[in-house]
Amino acid sequence: MIQTIVGLFGLIFGSFLNVCIVRVPRGESVITPGSHCPGCGHNIRWYHNIPVLSYVLLRGRCRDCGQRISLLYPLVEILTAVVFLLQYWRYGLTIEFAKGLIFAMLMIVLIFTDLLDRRIPHKISVPGIALGLAFSLITQVDNRPVGWLLANWGIFPSGLLLSGIGALAGAAIGGGLFFVVGEAFYHLRHKEGLGFGDVMLMLLVGTFYGPPLTLMTILLGSLLGSFIAIPLTVISSKFRNYKWPYGSFLGVAALYASIGGDALLRAYLQWGGFR
C-alpha cells in the first residue's frame, strides 16, 4: 500500500518536474501560466493532465490541435516514480528518504535541462546546495576522510558539526576539482571544456553526500560518458564535434550513488582489504 502511494506521488511530482525542465532554462515561471499546448496554446484540461495515463489515452497528441506530445513527459514521470520507489526501498520512511527524494528531483531536472538545452540552471543548483547544507545538520553526511584527518589531529567535533564539515568537504572536493580541471583545460586549449554549471552540480552533490560518494559520482559519470561518447564518436563523424552533456552523465551517476553508492563503496573497501 505504501509503495503504491509512493509511486503515485512520484508520478505527480514527475509531472511538475516536466514543467521545471521546460520552463526554468527559459527563465519562465513554473507556476503561471497553467499547463498548455506549445502548438495551439490551449490550456490543458485537468483530466488531460493525468501523469502517463493521459498520454496513453490521447495517443501522444494534443486533444485540440493534434500536435504530437513529446515522449519526454511520460518518461520523466515514470523515471521519477521509479526513483521514488527505489529511495523508499533504500531508506524507508525516514529523514534520509525525504533527503533522497529532494536530491533525486533536483538531479532529474538537471539531467534533462543539460541533455535538452546544455544548461544547468543556477535556479536549481543554488537552492539545491543550500538544501544539502541544511540536511547535513539534521542527518549524517559521510565525512570520510575528513573525520579521520580531524581525529588524527586530535579534533573531535560533534556528530552534526562533523556532518556539516563533511558536506562542505564534499562540495569543495567535487566543485573544486571540476573548477581546477575546467580552468586548466581552458588555459591549455583556449576553449571551454567544463562549464561552470558542472561545477555547481558537483557542489550540490557534495553538500548532500560528502566526499566518498562525490568522488564515486565523478568516477561513474566519467565512465558512463566515455562508454557512450567514445564508441559513437568512432562510429559516426557527426559526433566528432558534438557537445556531450557531461552534466547529464554526472546526474545519472549521482542518482545511482544516492541509492546504491554505499553498498558499492563497502564492497570496494572489503575487496581492497580496507575494512
> Percentage of the chain with pLDDT > 90?
42
User: What's the mean pLDDT in 38-50?
Assistant: 71
pLDDT greater at residue 81 or residue 176? 81
Q: Give the model's pLDDT for residue 185.
A: 61
* Range with the poorest average pLDDT among 88-92, 141-145, 254-258: 141-145
> Are 209 and 243 a contacting pair, CB within 8 Å?
no
Whether residue 193 has pLDDT greater than 70: no
Q: Give the model's pLDDT for residue 16.
A: 93
Specify burial of residue 216 (Cβ count, 10 A radius: 0-12, 13-18, 19+).
Answer: buried
Q: Considering the chain, what is the average pLDDT of its residues?
A: 84
Tens digits of residue pLDDT in 208-252:
998 889 999 999 998 998 898 888 888 877 777 778 888 999 999
Site of grid cell 503504491: 4
User: What's the mean pLDDT in 137-151?
Assistant: 73
Residue 76: which pLDDT band, with cuts at 50, 70 and 90? very high
Residues 6+ apart with CB under 8 A from 105: 13, 17, 80
Q: Which three cell numbers stand for residue 209?
A: 553526500
